[in-house]
Each structure stands twice: as structure tokens, then as C-alpha cells.
Structure 1
Amino acid sequence: MVYLTRRVTFSAAHRLWSQHLTEEENYHIYDKCANPNGHGHNYTLEVTVRGNPDPTTGMVMNLTDMKKITNEQVVDWVDHKHLNYDVPWLENVIPTAEMLAIAFWKRLEPGFPTGSLYEVKLHETENNVAAYRGEQTEAGRE
């Protein structure tokens, strides 16, 4: 089994705020990330597929196809956008790195051959990274 990763970058703004919390709770939990006007990040998104290289092409998947799927399903929607307001499929999502990784997975998975999407990893900063590998049963975990 070979794991192939395509990395892309994008810039976006967001505000961390939960409608299920009071104003005081939001500011206590999210601190400066609850700024009413939002704040921005230069994100790095890593999309990893897995499989056996095709004997004819030597590839698990064509990187050009990975780029096209990733851009069409995620990057073109989020780059230079305010994630809370400009991305319809993120409506009612608290745009933490964790929740974005899940949302990106859901957008990407249908575009890849069944079972080949292995991981979506989102670097919000150099120090903060969230990784998601889809819904897995206990028996299916590695």
C-alpha cells in the first residue's frame, strides 16, 4: 500500500463562535478568535489517498486529477473567503480546524475512487493541525 499526498495552500478568514454558548462563554473559550470581524489564516491542506500503484502508469493516482478534485471541491470555494459567510456548505459549521477537516473530507470523498481517500489534514498554523480519516468502525481502524 502506498500513500500519496497532495498539498495546497489557501488564505481565509473565520470567526469561532457557537450559537449554543453565551457571549461570555464564547469569549472565554475562543478568546481572540471570537473577534466579531473574524481573523485570517494561511492554511495548508494535505489530501492523502492510498492504493497500489498501477503497473502501467506507476501511479496510485494521477496528481493532476488530485489537484483538480481538491481545487474544485474545496480550494476554489474557500480561498480568500470568510468561511462563516461566503461558503454555503459551511453554513452553521463552527470553522475550527477540526470541523473544517471533516467538512473538507465530505466534499472530497465522492470525487475520489471508492475507498482511496485516506486522510485530510488541515494546518491552520505551524503549530495547529487537524487530521480526519473519515468515519471508521473499530474493526476498520489501523
Structure 2
Amino acid sequence: EVRGEPDPRSGYIIGIDKIDKAVRQTVLKPLRKALRGEDSRELHELVLDLASQTQGALQRPISGFKLRVTPRHELGWISTETGCMPKPGDTMSTEEMELMIRIQFEFAASHRLHCAEESDEWNREAFGKCNNPAGHGHNYRVEVCVSPDLSGEGSTRMGFETVEAIVKREVIDRFDHRNLNEQCEEFERLNPSVENITSVSRDLLLSPLAEAGGRLREITVWETEKTS
């Protein structure tokens, strides 16, 4: 991620060809080495080094760097203070950098959007087909972004496996293949809209993630491709 003011002539902040060249020069060889098991560093350490090397190749600050490990797993760094990655060999300050773990999940559930305190006519007007008395279903997609604690000189005890286990236990297993209105106590008196599902999921995750050494930065729930 590169930030700045667009060039007044080209309208570019930086040409994408320059970014592509820098990434190819600095990232591909170390990644191949890591995939062959020839790099003993933790993944977050490797990614930070790749970010620093890429910044050096670009010869300008970069404020964020992400590695998509799988279609559902992403690990990245952002600069929270200086607006740039540390130079190779520099000591990292946890006040200046933040590590982010981002994972996507899915669950299938049915629900009915209905406010019991309102009239049937009001509910039909407000929710349309989603007020169908028999309910309807969705394949929900959930994306969670967690920032692990790095106070121990840049080390962390939280990785993909820890985040996955917590989200699966607290959210996915709780809601998957359930009628949210009738089988989940969280929605006995709360309309299971995508907004409320997101809010409930956030509340379910905050404490377990904190106890495991992480902070929930973001959570997004998609009901459909158009609705989140």
C-alpha cells in the first residue's frame, strides 16, 4: 500500500508497473525459499522483511503490505505512526507497526426478519419477502481481522490456527445450519438482520480473542454479495 498525492501531470501516485517490478525483484525468491522450508522465521517476520525490502526497491515509503496465503487467509502489516515500513535491520516498534491476521469463514442459516412489537402490515412493508412466516436462508460469509499483541519484542503467540479455532467455536458452530430466530438465544428478542448478526458476532469474539492475545479490529458479515 502506497499513499501520497497524485502527480499533477499523470494523476498517478506511483505507476503500477513500478510496484509490480519491485515486488517481483524482492518477494518471489524469498517466498520460494520459504515454501521449500529453507526459512525458519515465523510467517509474520518473513512478511515484515518482505515489506521492508519492497519499500527499499521502490525507494519510497509504503504504509501497508499484505500476503494472501490462501484465498481465505491473509497476513499483513500496516504503519500506524510513521507511514512507512522499517528499513531492513531496523528495530521494530510495536507502537509504529501493527500486524493483522485476516480470515474468511462461511456458515449457512435461516431467519425471518420480523419485529413482534409491530403490526404484520408494518413488518411486510419494512422487510418484504424477508418477512416470510416460514423464513428463508442465506450462505453467510464472515471476515474477521485480528491484531495480535506484539509487546514481547515483536513476537506473538497468535496465528491463523488460534483465530480460526476461536471464531469457529464462538460464531460459526453457534449459527451454522440453525434457524436463528428459533434456535439461537442471541436472537430470541433481537431481529437477526445482517447488522445485528455482525454486532452479536463482534460481542462474542471480543473477550476470547483478547484472552488469547489479540484485538478484534474488524468484522464483516455478508448476507449476499450485495449486502454486508
Pairwise CA distance, 1:103: 0.5
Trace 1:61-80 onto structure 2 (pairs within 5 A): 61-80=158-177
In structure 1, the partner of 2:181 is 84
> Residue by residue, what CA displacement relative to the aligned partner does 1:6-61 show, whole Å, maximum 9, x if unpaired?
1100100000001121100000010000000100000001111124657675x583
Give distance in 1, aligned partners of 2:153 and 2:133.
54
In structure 1, the partner of 2:225 is 126
**Larger fraction in helix:** 2
Q: Given residue 227 of structure 2, which amino acid in structure 1 is its aligned partner? A: N
Pairwise CA distance, 1:3: 2.3
| 4+ runs deviating over 2 angstroms | 51-57
Give distance in 2, aligned partners of 1:60 and 1:121.
24
Pairwise CA distance, 1:77: 1.0
Structure 1 position 15 matched with structure 2 position 15: no
Task: Find the partner of 2:191 among 72, 86, 94.
Answer: 94
Contact 1:10–1:44 (Cα < 8 Å) also in 2:
yes
Partner SS state of residue 181, structure 2 = coil
Q: Tell me: CA distance 1:60–1:126, structure 2 relative to 1, closer, same or farther (3 Å).
A: farther
Give distance in 2, aligned partners of 1:100 and 1:5.
19
Task: Find the partner of 2:206 among 89, 103, 109.
Answer: 109
Contact 1:48–1:120 (Cα < 8 Å) also in 2:
yes
Aligned residues: 128
Structure 2, unpaired ranges of 5+: 1-97
Partner SS state of residue 65, structure 1 = helix
Give distance in 2, aligned partners of 1:48 and 1:123.
15
Pairwise CA distance, 1:89: 2.4
% of aligned pairs identical?
Answer: 30
Higher RCO, Cα 8 Å, sep 6+: 1
Give distance in 1, aligned partners of 2:205 and 2:135.
26
Contact 2:101–2:159 (Cα < 8 Å) also in 1:
no
Contact 1:18–1:26 (Cα < 8 Å) also in 2:
yes
Larger radius of gyration: 2
- CA RMSD, Structure 1 to Structure 2 (Å): 1.9
> Residue by residue, what CA displacement relative to the aligned partner does 1:50-103 show, whole Å, maximum 9, x if unpaired?
24657675x583111111111111111110110001112222110000011000
Contact 1:5–1:46 (Cα < 8 Å) also in 2:
yes
Structure 1, unpaired ranges of 5+: 130-142
Q: Given residue 84 of structure 1, which amino acid in structure 2 is its aligned partner? A: N
Contact 1:50–1:60 (Cα < 8 Å) also in 2:
no
Partner SS state of residue 183, structure 2 = coil
**Larger fraction in strand:** 1
